[in-house]
Structure formats: structure tokens, C-alpha cells
Chains A and B, each alone.
Chain A
């Protein structure tokens, strides 16, 4: 039962401010992922919660109690490091037992607790081994075991699977999820990998240059990005972002891109929802799966030319030339035969996002 609250956190490294007025409330048992590029302040935030980094302003509350002046040891929080930080001279058992022995727990209890955790993590047969003899995934399991064994108030994870190869990463991702569901503890997880964030998080906190950009469920940040940064950071392949102009017609609205004649057809209610943003300073965001492509002409579809095709196995990404701009569309594998082919495209109004070009903020238009 642990709630964590961050209130007005500010942090400077010398003259550089790395965290700007950060506010966040984390509920009990919640799995929170701090997502952002390297240098965005996510790891610093995590280390500040852990007590490995001081903060210059603000409060860190754990269960309502301010802890920013407490040492790491007094916050009762466990952490899994990116480098695993296993003690190289101790075997797996001693590594997992370390936090228990450090607080003078009786040896019988230690033994029981360590074996129980090892069983949950399926590393019971590795207890006698040294970390140097373990694979990356097993080292990770041991690091998680060391964090879990003392039943901490909260678990902090700093890119815990970032150092593993792709296949193992996927495996460990599933395992972390399984553990969280089973053990249920408040978890803060730092990563730069949006797929990890999407698959693990109850809520994602997207950070950029020390500011929180958006806090929301994976669905929120994917389907309703708050600004251009979030729109481009979340989702793969990346969302198309193009300047757009809007014009009204009798019973439709036309969104034109890159001075292409005609423009894409949208429902007429777009005009009222845009509320004055109809000309100038408008940016359209559309994910590749929102760009619909077909070979034959059809009402609402615009003729375009395919330029580059990236086959990605289960689907292709096709670059379409629309006026002077490019739109990336997602099609069935092999649907567009080759570069230069003339196809027809439409933008699915339901998947379109509109942003204010100057501020980058979403206009919140849903159709």
C-alpha cells in the first residue's frame, strides 16, 4: 500500500535545470513508466525518488510523508539498475540475501525469503553461481530478486532490460509484467523504449527536456497525444506531421497538404471544431495506419504516387507524394507493387489529429 507523490520538483546540475516543476501522483500498486529520450530527466527523477540524487525544490511524498531529506536507506524503496549492479564477489544467494542481511535478519528467515523469491523468478538452480557466470537475462532476474526479496514499499526500475538483446528483452518484458500482476507493488519504471512503456504501463509519463509532456494510459498517449512531441515520440512507425490548410465546402471540409490540388475530404463539423484555426498555423498528424490506400479510384480518395516502399514483414510502409509533401501509409505487405505506382489515398478523419503549429499543442479535435 504505497502512494508516491511528487510536488513541484526542480533539479539543477550546476546552472542547467534538468527537472522543471514536476508534479505527479502515483497510486498504490500502479505501474508508472517514465518515458523519454536520453537526457530528458527521467532517470534523474527516478534517482531523486530513490534518494540517490538530491532535489533543489519541491517535495517527494511516500504515503503522505515527505522523504526528500531522508537517505536512500530510510525510504524503504528497492531499485533495479540498468547495469544490474550485482555484487560481483557474492554468489546469487548472497546477492539476493544482501538487503536482508544488511538489516540483520535472522539466517533462517533469510534463507526462506531468498528461496521463495528465487522460486518465483525461476532461478532456484542458480543460487550458488557467481554473477559473472550468468546470462544477461538471469543477471536481470537476480537484480529483480534482490529488489523483491525485502518486500519494499515501491520498486524503481532504471531501464532494467535496456542492456539485453531484442529477444531477451521481449521475454523479460513479459516476465516483469507477470511479476507485477502477481506481486502487485507500486512500480516506477524508466525507459526510452516506447514499446516497453506501452506494454507495461498502467500510466505513461512522457518527459522531454525536464518537462512532463503528458501523463496518461497507453491508449491516451497513443490515441490522444497532447502535443506534437508526444505524437511523434509514441508509436512506430512515426506519425506523419504536416502543415495543412482547411477549406469549407457545401457539405464537407477539405484538408490540403503540400499545395496538392483538391485536398482530403473531412466531415464538415471539422470547421466548427477547429474554431478559427482553419487557416494558417495548423498541423495535421496522422499515423501511417490512418492513411488509407487503394489501387482504384473511389469517392474521397486522392490520386497520389508511391515513392519508397519499406517492407516490414507483416506490413509495408509506403511513402506517398502528396503535392510537395510526403505521407507515410501502412499497407498490406506487397499491396503497392513498386515505386512510381499511381495509387489513391484518403485520410481517415477519425484518426486525424490537429495541432497548433506555433505551440505544438493538440487542438483536441476528434471526429
Chain B
């Protein structure tokens, strides 16, 4: 274990996040949460989750051959 998440787990997380985008459970829910409609709050939180997902990809799945290119050309 080198501290990196396995690729399959990152794929699962990415697919899960994609599926969670279609929040049919809030479709007809007009409740106000934190001052805004819950359907909008959900998608604002979703943007933060996307940031988290990107941080995981950058940390654990960075395409190393791209860095190799940089070193060999530099």
C-alpha cells in the first residue's frame, strides 16, 4: 500500500457522483434549506463534491507519463 487509492475505487466514486447528479428525490420538493430551495442547495453541495473528486483524481490518478514527457523534454 503506497497511500494511493486503487483506480477501481476512483472509477466507482466518479460513476457514483455522476449518478447522484440526477436527484429525482428532490424533484418536487420546494422546501427552503439554508435560505434557498433544497433542489438548488443540493447542486451547490454537488459542486463542492466535484471539487473533492478532482482533488482525489489529481492526488491518486495523475497521469505520470505526462510528467515523464515534461522531464524528458526539459
A is bound by B: no
A interface residues with partner B (beta carbon < 8 Å): none
B interface residues with partner A (beta carbon < 8 Å): none
